[in-house]
């Protein structure tokens, strides 16, 4: 591809409206369920890990994990702990119905390893981020939040849009206000925890004692 053609491609890609859009919604409620604050902003922070996972899924190699055949396309994914693994992996065997999750976000209650996660970090996002800067872990103490389950809703939306949301509620059971400055979405991929989105909030969100924060990542595809 010539340099002039390459420049034209980048110009067109930057000018066009995104077909895949990502937003986040934040809603803080007091212990009586009354809304303290609510907002919606565009996320621009799907990470390189997301692109690597989708590309490999589209390459159609997951069947090879079950049959132990040669995988033509494998990528190196950075896990939340900073180490890497090859995806897809041949380490799993068994029947197809027992195949491991490859991009699961539906974490159960009290599991802070994946699903929607939140933290205190304020360092700007880069494409190669692999974890939150400072995550608030699950718990009842200082700088901890009780994690509800992460729910992945059905695809809905009014044409030409197809919309689905990934939702989690966090409750502050400590005695002090907790300030959220970053949010993210992590998935379970063949037994590994992988961050696919991270956003630093334009304005930090305070969660008073006994209050809750609901985070919704909203995916939208426009035909």
pLDDT at position 17: 61
The reported pLDDT for the residue numbered 99 is: 60
Q: What whole-number distance in Å separates Cα of residue 185 and Cα of residue 200?
A: 12
Q: What is the pLDDT of residues 73-100, one digit of tens each?
A: 788 999 999 999 988 876 555 555 556 7
Distance (Å) of CA 198 to CA 32, 90, 128, 175? 30, 29, 10, 27
| Tokens (6 digits) for 160 | 């030409």
When the pLDDT of each residue in the chain is averaged and rounded to a whole number, the result is: 88
Q: What is the side-by-side strand order in the sheet with 192-207?
A: 115-119, 178-189, 192-207
The more confident residue out of 13 and 146 is 146
Which residues make beta-bridge pairs with 121? none
38 — pLDDT class (breaks 50, 70, 90): very high
Mean pLDDT for the stretch of residues 48-68: 75
DSSP line for 89-140: -S---S-GGGPPPSSB--PPTT--SSEEEEE---SPP-TT--S-SSB-EESS
pLDDT at 101: 85
Rounded Cα–Cα distance for residues 146 and 137 (Å)? 8
pLDDT digit string (tens) for 174-198? Answer: 999 999 999 999 999 999 999 999 9
* Dihedral over alpha carbons 115, 116, 120, 122 (to 10 degrees): 110
- Of the chain, the end-to-end C-alpha distance in Å amounts to 28
The proportion of the chain whose per-residue pLDDT surpasses 70, expressed as a percent, equals 82
- The least confident of 3-12, 17-26, 128-137 is 3-12
Whether residue 42 is predicted with pLDDT greater than 70 in this model: the reply is: yes
Cβ–Cβ < 8 Å for 210, 173:
yes
Q: Which of 198, 141, 195, 147 is nearest to 173 (CA)?
A: 141
The pLDDT value recorded for residue 51 is 96
More confident residue, 66 or 140: 140
CA angle 49, 134, 86 (to 5 degrees): 25
Kindly state the average pLDDT of the residues 99-105. Answer: 85
Mean pLDDT confidence for 104-128: 98
**Residues β-bridged to residue 21:** 220
What was the pLDDT predicted at 15?
45
Least confident of 33-37, 56-60, 108-112, 124-128: 56-60
pLDDT for 16 beyond 60: no
């Amino acid at each position: 591809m010539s340099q002039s053609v390459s420049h034209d491609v980048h110009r067109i890609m930057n000018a066009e409206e995104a077909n895949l859009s990502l937003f986040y919604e934040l809603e803080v409620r007091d212990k009586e369920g009354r809304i303290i604050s609510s907002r919606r902003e565009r996320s621009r922070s799907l990470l390189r890990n997301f692109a690597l996972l989708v590309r490999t899924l589209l390459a159609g190699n997951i069947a090879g994990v079950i049959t132990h055949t040669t995988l033509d396309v494998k990528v190196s994914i950075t896990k939340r702990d900073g180490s890497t693994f090859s995806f897809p992996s041949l380490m799993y065997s068994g029947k197809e119905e027992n195949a491991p999750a490859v991009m699961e976000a539906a974490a159960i209650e009290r599991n802070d390893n994946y699903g929607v996660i939140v933290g205190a970090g304020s360092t700007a996002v880069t494409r190669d981020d692999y974890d939150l800067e400072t995550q608030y872990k699950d718990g009842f103490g200082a700088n901890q939040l009780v994690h509800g389950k992460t729910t992945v809703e059905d695809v809905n939306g009014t044409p030409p849009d197809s919309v689905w949301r990934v939702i989690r509620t966090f409750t502050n059971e400590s005695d002090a206000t907790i300030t959220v400055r970053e949010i993210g979405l992590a998935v379970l991929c063949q037994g590994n925890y992988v961050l696919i989105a991270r956003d630093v909030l334009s304005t930090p969100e305070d969660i008073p004692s006994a209050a809750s924060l609901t985070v919704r990542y909203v995916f939208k595809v426009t035909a």
